[in-house]
Structure formats: C-alpha cells, structure tokens
C-alpha cells in the first residue's frame, strides 16, 4: 500500500496573495514556491532574536514567509537591486519593523555588511550561491542556516544555467565550514548549517 503526506503548507502569510498578484502583473515568475516558503518560515521560527538576510527580495514572497515565522525580536535584511520589484515588497511588508529592505546589488551588500553574525541566510540570486559562497558563510554565526532554492530546472532558467547549478553542487564538499543536504523537494533545495 502506498502512503503519502500532504506537504502543502497549512499556513500562509497574510500578504502573500496580494504580493503574488502584483508579481503576475509585473510578469515576475520567480517567487519562491509555497513549500519552500513554509520551510523558510519554520527555519525563521527556530532563530529567536536572530538576524537574517535574504539575498534577492524579488517582489517579497520569500520575505513574507520569513516574517511569518520570525519572532518579534528577530530582524530580516532583504536585498534587491531591482527597484520595481522591491517596491512591491515594501508596499506589502514595509510596515513591519522587523524587516529592512536594502536596494543594492548582492555583491555590494556582501562587500559592505558589517553588522552582527547572521542566524540565517536565504539566497535567491547568484551572489552567495554560484559565487562568493565563502564570503557569505563568513557572515553566518556557528549553527547559522544557509538555504538556497531552484536547484531543479525551472521554466525561468536561461539556457546556460544548468552548468552553474552543477558546479555549485559539485563544489559543496570544498566548503568545510558548511554541512549541507541537497534535496529534490519543492524546487530543489540545499539546506546547510555553518559549522
């Protein structure tokens, strides 16, 4: 007999539907999937008082999920270089004092961040994933979580993207300060912890 588990989230951030509606109006199709988002919320809930970063705000779907799980004493920095996309996020989530939206290139942010160590990093862009992973890991506290998605082929991928993903996964063992697990769940995730 085959058993299955309904792995759809049983909770949703209040602002998520409005964010996704505006994403569709912008033609933005790269928001994190609900199953990924529910995992982000769970991870955020495990870091009371933690400082977190999202590299690649997009329109704010990932930030909405992170904020849904975060306690009142945690803080999220969400970094995006596309102002039109980030405007959607700030419109729906900017009232929440737990989040700071920074309009910047992720490479620039990695060069200039000088705050306390991070409890969680969710990376949804190339810097911190396909290059400069070591720089990001240096910002994580011991035990800090590192999460990336979209490691399985996506309709939005450019034709030359698969080799980037393959190289990223092949080089993971070289990062001796990261213990991670790659999964084919949702859009293809890597969940790791800074050791």
- CB-based contacts of 52: which residues, under 8 Å, 6+ apart? 44, 66, 70, 74, 75, 76, 77, 118, 119, 120, 121, 122
Residue 129 is predicted with a pLDDT of 95
Return d(Cα 195, Cα 59) in angstroms, integer: 32
Residue 159 is predicted with a pLDDT of 87
Both tokens assigned to 43: 């991870």
Return d(Cα 1, Cα 5) in angstroms, integer: 13
The low-confidence residues of the chain, meaning pLDDT below 70, are 1
Return d(Cα 64, Cα 52) in angstroms, integer: 13
Residue 169 is predicted with a pLDDT of 96
What is the pTM for the complete model shown?
0.95
- Domain 16-194 belongs to what architecture? 3-Layer(aba) Sandwich (3.40)
Which residue ranges make up each domain of the chain? Answer: 16-194
Residue 156 is predicted with a pLDDT of 85
Return d(Cα 15, Cα 44) in angstroms, integer: 17
């Amino acid at each position: 007999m085959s058993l299955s588990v309904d792995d759809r989230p049983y909770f949703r951030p209040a602002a998520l539907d409005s964010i996704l509606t505006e994403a569709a109006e912008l033609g933005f199709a790269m928001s994190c999937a609900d199953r990924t988002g529910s995992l982000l919320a769970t991870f955020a809930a495990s870091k009371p008082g933690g400082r977190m970063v999202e590299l690649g705000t997009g329109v704010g779907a990932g930030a909405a999920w992170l904020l849904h799980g975060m306690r009142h004493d945690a803080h999220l920095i969400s970094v995006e270089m596309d102002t039109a996309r980030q405007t959607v996020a700030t419109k729906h989530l900017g009232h929440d004092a737990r989040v700071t939206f920074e309009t910047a290139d992720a490479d620039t942010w990695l060069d200039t961040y000088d705050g306390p160590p991070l409890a969680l990093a969710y990376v949804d862009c190339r810097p911190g994933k396909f290059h400069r992973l070591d720089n990001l890991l240096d910002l994580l506290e011991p035990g800090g979580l590192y999460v990336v998605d979209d490691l399985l082929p996506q309709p939005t991928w450019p034709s030359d993207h698969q080799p980037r993903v393959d190289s990223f996964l092949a080089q993971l063992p070289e990062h001796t300060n990261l213990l991670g697990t790659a999964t084919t769940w949702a859009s293809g995730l890597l969940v790791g912890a800074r050791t």
